[in-house]
């Protein structure tokens, strides 16, 4: 059965929809927290559930290297391995292969690269990326793409795009042939209670493969990329190759220029964005899904996102501030702790600092999108 | 009002009692998790509450240096600063002054030492230790003592004990004169909801100062120390100067030799112990309170305490172990996660590793003592 993406209401270009995945019904527009190596850094899974996160990301490159996708398959898939009963999206590994590997070697067949962990040699092809993502048991897998660097001249972007399009076809062919080898219905016994119960609602749903639009910062290449991917008929489309160092105005422009070429009745996902005001803006332009390490990574460095703007919680001015991190926020951190305490935890390098800062930042991002969704419905 | 310590039942030398402190009714025998710098490392306060921790420790030395006791007083005391509504015990600072400072200078007046953080010079006297602990707002403060090193010859232990006894008198005099300057009833407004509500049950109760028995590993000195402290009439007594490198058998011996000289109707606290089987054994000997960094520190190094013994969760043999960390444990970690997942988090150095390992170890320790208490009542 193909992806069920039901648009409930539109407002301008923005859409309020429900996307039914094998492990969760996801309300869009949605922000997806990043759980790089089978953990949204520092946050226990039950707190993610309390934050009403319905879908999180896993990184194919990282999980392939450690603990390995075959191990995760034997453990019943990533949902069960990490005890996350709701939906999971995995990237293709392409972005990390390119961003973490100075010595990669790209051929038509795929990419040879060295592990950033131990320098060992590895090879990713579109087929291999699909195999890994199927082993992980993602609800949404992503086609293997080359993430074009920034800046890239036209010829470079053109060649890279052509490769990505051929890889998209190979990804789709391999994925469609093997997507029923998902691990989650095979797994029996062991831990991860709740994973099966919840999944039972969606039995029979299959994993989905999204295509990724590339083309650098060139409008005609983006259009060509989108049109050719749409011909291949993916259940959803991502706009990739952004947040690679380009100015923010350019990010917005590329998104605006690409969206019209993506089908209105399928989910549209912008990868790797962004600040709170950006995700609101992109949702208003008709983007349905976004992900970014920003809220989690910034939290670990003491940067909090709040209704009053960004707070650097390390700042001395918060040393005796008895107010909550964000007076408008009702997350478990803002209900219980003060800025003074969060500053102290950061200054004393206490591990609880990362936990509390991250929970708040994710609460802020998820609440931001909840308000966007309410705004579309409420008018 | 003095400390209410009601013995409900005895069994052999073991006692099942309820100790009513300004911020909690604590069921003893009790194990107290250590929250060194205003946080039980890696564990959010609401999870400590879910584990039914009723009393935790704060370290006077660490809190004095950072964020500073005067800041904490201005924030309404440590309970409110860290949003911990239940009971807090603070040590005297003596142990850290001695263990973290090679260059300390001890005089009759007190100890001059350098901060392990920045090398700055500081001075602790019994009076100053009391002032700091009163500013923190502890439910139980500890007399300022010299923790005799191990090994120490008789003359050294004798001199050290004499100093400690004079300091105990000074501690008590200063504490009694100032204990009503506790910060928690003065604080108004700000965060920390729940702290006041819970404390309201115990309004009128005052902080308590415990004396600390020293005397090295010498039976006659321990006896003398205990008897002279008992003459001073503290509401509770600790046995200090243990877990300083002596063999475990000697620890047990000193405890066994000291307990008979402590009043049967007051709480007895052995500081800085121990392994799970030790805390069970000491409780059976009549010890009411214990604390140790072992469960929390070991957790961060991947050592889990379970009903099947100690697990080094980093061990490769757990890589695909779908069992819970401890099949007998019903904590949130054992209910939800596998050994394979905990091993992965540790191997990948994920911050969630410390959170989950610590929650389990504390659950194991607290459950161990719950069973000890049930055993005394149940017969």
pLDDT at position A182 over 90: no
For B1, B91, B150, B194, the CA distances from A334, given in Å and listed in that order, are 36, 30, 46, 14
* Alpha helices by DSSP H, chain A: 45-50, 60-65, 69-74, 78-82, 94-99, 126-136, 154-178, 195-199, 219-232, 248-258, 276-284, 294-300, 332-336, 339-347, 352-378
Measured over the CA atoms of residue B219, residue B31, residue B344 and residue A101, the dihedral's sign is: negative
pLDDT at position A256 over 50: yes
The 10s digit of each residue's pLDDT in A220-243 is 999 999 999 999 999 999 999 999
Burial state string for B165-187 with b = 16 or more CB within 10 A and e = fewer than 16:
bebbbbbbebbeebbeebbbeeb
The alpha carbon of residue B190 is apart from the nearest alpha carbon of chain A, in Å, by 5
Domains of chain A: 4-292 (3.20.20.105), 293-379 (no CATH)
Low-confidence residues in chain B, pLDDT < 70: 1, 185-203, 379
pLDDT at position A199 over 70: no
Q: How many CB pairs under 8 A join A and B?
A: 142
pLDDT at position A128 over 80: yes
What does the alpha-carbon distance between residue B270 and residue A366 come to, in Å, rounded to a whole number?
47
Within 8 A by CB and 6+ apart from B327, the residues are B307, B308, B334
Report yes or no: A313 and A339 within 8 Å, Cβ to Cβ: yes
| Radius of gyration of chain B from its Cα atoms, rounded to whole angstroms | 20
What does the alpha-carbon distance between residue B156 and residue B112 come to, in Å, rounded to a whole number?
19
DSSP state, residue A329? -
Structure-model confidence comparison of residues A35 and A96, the more confident one: A35
Which one of A83, A322, A338 has the shortest CB-CB distance to B341? Answer: A83
Average of per-residue pLDDT values in chain A: 94
Q: Which residue of B has its CA nearest to A192?
A: B336
What is the pLDDT at residue B136? 97
Percentage of chain A exceeding pLDDT 70 = 94
The 10s digit of each residue's pLDDT in A8-67 is 999 999 999 999 999 999 999 999 999 999 999 999 999 999 999 999 999 999 999 999
Which one of B191, B336, B352 has the shortest CB-CB distance to A324? Answer: B191
The alpha carbon of residue B294 is apart from the nearest alpha carbon of chain A, in Å, by 17
Contacts of B189 in chain A (CB under 8 A): 322
Report ipTM (2 d.p.).
0.96
Using the beta-carbon criterion (under 8 Å), do B341 and A189 form an inter-chain contact? no
Contacts of B39 in chain A (CB under 8 A): 345, 348, 350, 352
What is the pLDDT at residue B97? 85
User: Which residues of B are part of the catalytic machinery?
Assistant: 91, 291
**How sure is the predictor about A104, in pLDDT bands with cuts at 50, 70 and 90?**
confident
The 10s digit of each residue's pLDDT in A274-295 is 999 999 999 999 999 999 999 9
pLDDT at position A347 over 50: yes
pLDDT at position A188 over 60: no
Cα of A262 vs its chain's centroid, Å: 19
What is the pLDDT at residue A229? 98
Q: Which residue of B has its CA nearest to A356?
A: B44
pLDDT at position A145 over 50: yes
Catalytic site includes residue A291: yes
The alpha carbon of residue B108 is apart from the nearest alpha carbon of chain A, in Å, by 32
What is the pLDDT at residue A190? 42
The 10s digit of each residue's pLDDT in B70-86 is 999 999 999 999 999 99
pLDDT at position A196 over 60: no
Report yes or no: B22 and B205 within 8 Å, Cβ to Cβ: yes
Contacts of B345 in chain A (CB under 8 A): 38-39
Q: Which two tokens stand for residue B96?
A: 């850290």
What is the pLDDT at residue A201? 52
- When scoring A70, A73, A75 by the number of chain B Cβ atoms within 10 A, the one with the most, hence best to mutate, is A75
- When scoring A63, A198, A350, A353 by the number of chain B Cβ atoms within 10 A, the one with the most, hence best to mutate, is A350
pLDDT at position A169 over 60: yes
* pTM metric for this prediction: 0.96
pLDDT at position A4 over 60: yes
């Amino acid at each position: 059965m193909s992806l069920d993406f039901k648009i409930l209401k539109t407002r301008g270009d923005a859409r309020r929809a429900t996307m039914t995945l094998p492990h969760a019904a996801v309300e869009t527009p949605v922000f997806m927290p990043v759980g790089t190596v089978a953990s949204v850094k520092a946050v226990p899974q039950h707190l993610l559930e309390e934050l009403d996160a319905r879908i999180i990301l896993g990184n194919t490159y990282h999980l392939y290297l450690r603990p390995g996708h075959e191990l995760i398959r034997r453990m019943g898939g990533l949902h069960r391995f990490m005890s996350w009963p709701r939906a999971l999206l995995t990237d293709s590994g392409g972005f990390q292969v390119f961003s973490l590997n100075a010595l990669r070697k790209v051929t038509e067949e795929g990419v040879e690269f060295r592990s950033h962990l131990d320098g060992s040699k590895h090879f990713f092809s579109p087929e291999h990326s699909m195999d890994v993502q199927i082993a992980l048991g993602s609800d949404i897998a992503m086609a293997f793409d080359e993430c074009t660097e920034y800046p890239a001249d036209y010829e470079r972007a053109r060649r890279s795009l052509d490769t990505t399009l051929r890889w998209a076809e190979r990804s789709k062919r391999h994925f469609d042939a093997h997507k029923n080898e998902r691990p989650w219905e095979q797994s029996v016994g062991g831990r991860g209670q709740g994973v099966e119960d919840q999944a039972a609602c969606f039995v029979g749903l299959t994993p989905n493969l999204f295509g990724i639009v590339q083309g650098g910062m060139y409008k005609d290449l983006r259009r060509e990329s989108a049109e050719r991917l749409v011909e291949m008929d993916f259940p959803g489309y991502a706009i990739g190759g952004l947040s690679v160092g380009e100015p923010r105005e350019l990010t917005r422009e590329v998104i605006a220029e690409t969206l019209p070429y993506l089908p209105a009745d399928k989910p549209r996902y912008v990868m790797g964005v962004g600040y709170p005001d950006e995700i609101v803006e992109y949702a208003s332009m008709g983007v349905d899904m976004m992900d970014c390490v920003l809220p989690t990574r910034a939290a670990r460095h003491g940067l909090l996102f709040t209704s009053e703007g960004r707070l650097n919680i390390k700042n001395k001015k918060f040393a005796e501030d008895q107010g909550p991190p964000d007076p408008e926020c009702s997350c478990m951190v803002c209900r219980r702790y003060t800025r003074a305490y969060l500053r102290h935890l950061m200054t004393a390098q206490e591990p609880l600092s990362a936990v509390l800062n991250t929970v708040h930042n994710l609460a802020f991002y998820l609440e931001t999108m909840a308000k966007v969704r309410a705004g579309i419905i409420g008018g």
